[in-house]
Structure 1
Amino acid sequence: MSRRFDAIIIGAGQAGPPLAGRLTEAGMTVALIERKLFGGTCVNTGCTPTKTLVASAYAAHLARRAADYGVTIGGRVGVDMKVVKARMDAVSGRSRQNVESWLKGMDKCTVFKGHARFCSPREIIVGDEVLISERIFLNVGGRAAVPDLPGIDRVKFFTNSSILELDTLPPHLVIVGGSYIGLEFAQIYRRFGSEVTIVEKGPRLIGREDREISEAIREILENEGIKIRLDAECISFTPKGSQIGVGVECSTDEPEVLGSHVLLAVGRGPNTDDLDLDKAGLETDKRGYISVDDQLRTNVPGIWALGDCNGRGAFTHTSYNDFEIVAANLLDNDPRRVSDRTMAYALYIDPPLGRVGMSEAEARKSGKRVLVGTRPMSRVSRAIEKGETQGLMKVLVDADSKAILGAAILGTGGDEAIHGIIDIIHAKAPYTAIQRAMPIHPTVSELIPTVLGELKPLA
């Protein structure tokens, strides 16, 4: 049995549902296929559940610090992991249900539950039906990478998805991977009460960030009692009764970490290996990401790839921006491109890191004359008043064009304050435009003009 539609969307992540909305509003019939959970990574295993955990962990941390603010709490601060998980599941579940209800109630949209595969460049099989369309949009997302490390097949381990099923507290959680996902879970579980060790293959945490940012984050985590093992070149796993031995082969300290649980946080890969892309003639890179051009068109006319599966961004906001780019080009005669956007993201440890544009290393390689301004959060009134003075602010500027090249705000409110800089970069305005504004006191954002007023040549 076959059915014809004006468009087929595979995947109900952050790009698929809003695209279905725009296409149906334009009068098109749309088939949307989802094989598992509506809302994709963000709603089910990413932003929504993890930031809910971050909030619970922050509440526990603040309760323990209550005396610092003159607040008395009787007795020991405890964490009920079953209640924590129930709250997370409820928040995530509501978001998932909202997406599903929206799609199923959308006029001209037919929702299919099942695993989609290509039969040809214009045909998709799902269940016992063949769907046909001249326009096919892939929003199939990604999943945690599981590298073939020695002994990994002999032990139980968590990924960023499966650890969300845990409703008990690990006595000692060993996290393999010192990047964004690993660091968030490290602080979450340490604040819940677990002993936590991070094992990182590289010489420092989050190696893409500037060294002082990386070192500041390490200090923040170590001050909370998180152990960090760097330069772990030969990571391996050995069952040790009820525990797991994680071989690290570091140049310092013991060669093995003994933990009760292991979380692998070593990257992600695209969900493209079981779509029969070859039957459509679609090209991928060596990691399986679908190759796309600047308007997210694949090498096959009439097929687009959006979100994590195209390798052009790994965030909810890049996926949603992919939808906006495709809709603008297809429906609005508005020629938007991926290359027009400036990459921005956040790391949601506490305090958070907000980042946009170039790092210092990238700025140095650009060949531009670079100016830099920095300020410790210990000299930001808002941070002092809140008793949260860890971190720093840093801005990089092109001395000739006066354009802001990049910025990092590691500190309380850093994930929000960075947006003022994001907007200036997007508007292609000079950094001096911020200095003429009148910011609100007391905020973190009000110190951005101050930092820009103290720019110096990059040493």
Structure 2
Amino acid sequence: MSSEFCRNVIIGSGEGGKYLAWHLAQSGEPTMVLERRWIGGSCPNINCLPAKNEIWSAKVADLAHHARNFGTITGPVSIDMEGVRRRKREMVEALVAIHVNKYKSTGAELVMGEATFVEPKTIAVRLNDGGQRTIAAERIFLNLGTHAAIPPVPGLQESSPMTHIEILELDRLPEHLIVIGGGYVGLEFAQAYRRFGSKVTILQRAAQLIPDQDADIAEELQRILISEGIDILTSVEITQVKGHSGKQVSLAVKTPQGEKEINGSHILAAAGRVPNTSGIGLELAGVKLTPKGWIQVNDRLETTAANVWAIGECAGSPQFTHASLDDFRIIRDNLAGGNRSTRDRLMPSCLFTDPQVARVGLSENEAKNKGIPVEVARVPMASVLRTRTIGETSGFMKALLSPADGRILGFAMIGAEAGEVMTVVQMAIQANANYTVLRDAVISHPTMSEGLNVLFSAVKRSKG
């Protein structure tokens, strides 16, 4: 079969890939995007945005259940999961339409189908609507994404556990949801479904929830989740799964206290991600992988094959949509003659539990492991007056400072609107600012960010 030629081919339409496609096409470059299913990638379809949509529905449910605390008398409160799903679907449909229109307006060609390399710089596409196209390209950008890992536990695969994709399509409330994994996806859905009314149990293999956070953050979040009625087991090994998720399941587990059996109705597998790099012929393209299947890239996101780049999670970048967006900016600028790098990026994170958990810069664990001296300032969220007005006083915020010159090295917060407050500190870190900039800033009252005045006023230094 003869092949077509397109100067730029992007496999995958996730965050970094779609922005690169739109940029190149608007710059007059012939550009084609090969996408097998999700127009716009996982974020607007099956991940970030629909998950946060349902999390907000759960927030409303929680407020309705506690309306009396705010002086509002309601009748019986019930959850309409079909309505929750409908609200989510309507948002997703609107977002997909925006993406389709963007492809049309920029001139980037969107091809729906399964892409496989047949030789270097040549890709066969099995089209979703039938037929095949073969595309030869001068430059190729791999935006392949990841999928949920199913741990190799006997019986787990056979039980047909849900991932983040299936749980977002539920139209009935699970009687007892068992969540495997205490990371971002697991915790967000665990709390949401507890607030909808499910019994929820979290099984975490590690010794603490969200292992990338400091222990005090994880402990405070665990306390909050337990107070909402969620059962949490850490340092757990699942040895056997029986039954079928959606009907009845039984999990045999080993805990530090001994062996247990946990019975439930549904399983959510939220135990990490696997790159979508197998079975598409990357070896024929000269693209090498790491032992765990991630694409090998340098700090400019160039792969081991000439004129082939990788973007986002498949390249081992942090598993955040905003990281993929920055990958796009790095590639865009370097294609134009720049010299941008992935090294030393200031990468924020935000877990959208309620309250949120946000962090940017150095953590206490990292400072200790790297032997970096720091001063730590910490205040409870209850000292921020805005929390008193909304009745959300749980949590705390803390900052790490350089003892030498008072520069802000890191910030973490568990509290209402933590992601928004973190961004203020992120700007100060990027400006290489001394903590007194935020200590002495005139911040509107009463806002959550005003807590930064409180936090940095708590710094005890001989100078500054």
TM tier, shorter chain? over 0.9
Scaled by the length of structure 1, what TM-score is found?
A: 0.95
Matched, 1:62 2:67: no
Moved more, 312-321 or 147-156: 147-156
243, 265, 271: which one aligns with 2:270 = 265
CA RMSD of aligned residues (A): 1.6
How far apart are the structure 1 equivalents of 2:388 and 2:117? Answer: 57
Q: Which residue of 2 aligns with 1:22?
A: 23
Matched, 1:80 2:80: yes
Helix, strand or coil for the counterpart of 1:53?
helix
Alignment of 1:299-310 (within 5 A): 299-310=304-315
Matched, 1:319 2:319: no
How far apart are the structure 2 equivalents of 1:54 and 1:240? Answer: 26
Matched, 1:141 2:140: no
Q: Which amino acid aligns with 2:152?
A: D
416, 421, 427: which one aligns with 2:420 = 416
How far apart are the structure 2 equivalents of 1:415 and 1:61? Answer: 20
Q: Which residue of 2 aligns with 1:289?
A: 294
> How far apart are 1:153 and its partner, in Å?
3.5
Contact conserved, 1:43 with 1:96, CA < 8 A, in 2? yes
Matched, 1:356 2:357: no
> How far apart are 1:407 and its partner, in Å?
1.1
Q: Which residue of 2 aligns with 1:217?
A: 221
Helix, strand or coil for the counterpart of 1:36?
coil
Pair 1:428–1:335, CA change in 2 (3 A): farther
Q: Which residue of 1 aligns with 2:457?
A: 453
Q: Which amino acid aligns with 2:279?
A: D
Q: Which residue of 1 aligns with 2:91?
A: 91
Q: Which amino acid aligns with 1:294?
A: D
Alignment of 1:32-431 (within 5 A): 32-73=33-74, 75-107=75-107, 109-127=108-126, 128-239=132-243, 242-252=247-257, 255-331=260-336, 333-431=337-435
Q: Which residue of 1 aligns with 2:129?
A: none
Contact conserved, 1:175 with 1:263, CA < 8 A, in 2? yes
Moved more, 432-441 or 214-223: 432-441
Consecutive unaligned residues in structure 2, runs of 5 or more: 127-131
Contact conserved, 2:362 with 2:411, CA < 8 A, in 1? yes
Moved more, 231-240 or 20-29: 231-240
Contact conserved, 2:8 with 2:140, CA < 8 A, in 1? yes
Q: Which amino acid aligns with 1:27?
A: G
Seq. identity, %: 38
How far apart are the structure 2 equivalents of 1:240 and 1:51? Answer: 27
How far apart are the structure 1 equivalents of 2:427 and 2:83? Answer: 39
> How far apart are 1:240 and its partner, in Å?
8.4
Contact conserved, 2:209 with 2:218, CA < 8 A, in 1? yes
How far apart are the structure 2 equivalents of 1:5 and 1:456? Answer: 61
> How far apart are 1:272 and its partner, in Å?
0.8
Helix, strand or coil for the counterpart of 2:221?
helix
Pair 1:278–1:210, CA change in 2 (3 A): same
Pair 1:186–1:341, CA change in 2 (3 A): same
Helix, strand or coil for the counterpart of 2:322?
helix
Scaled by the length of structure 2, what TM-score is found?
A: 0.94
Helix, strand or coil for the counterpart of 1:114?
strand
How far apart are the structure 2 equivalents of 1:71 and 1:374? Answer: 35
Count the aligned residue pairs.
454
> How far apart are 1:274 and its partner, in Å?
2.1
Q: Which amino acid aligns with 2:60?
A: A
Pair 1:235–1:53, CA change in 2 (3 A): farther
How far apart are the structure 1 equivalents of 2:338 and 2:437? Answer: 28
How far apart are the structure 2 equivalents of 1:325 and 1:340? Answer: 13
Helix, strand or coil for the counterpart of 1:324?
helix
> How far apart are 1:340 and its partner, in Å?
4.0
> How far apart are 1:69 and its partner, in Å?
1.0
> How far apart are 1:293 and its partner, in Å?
1.2
> How far apart are 1:143 and its partner, in Å?
0.6
Q: Which residue of 2 aligns with 1:2?
A: 3
> How far apart are 1:156 and its partner, in Å?
2.7
> How far apart are 1:253 and its partner, in Å?
7.2
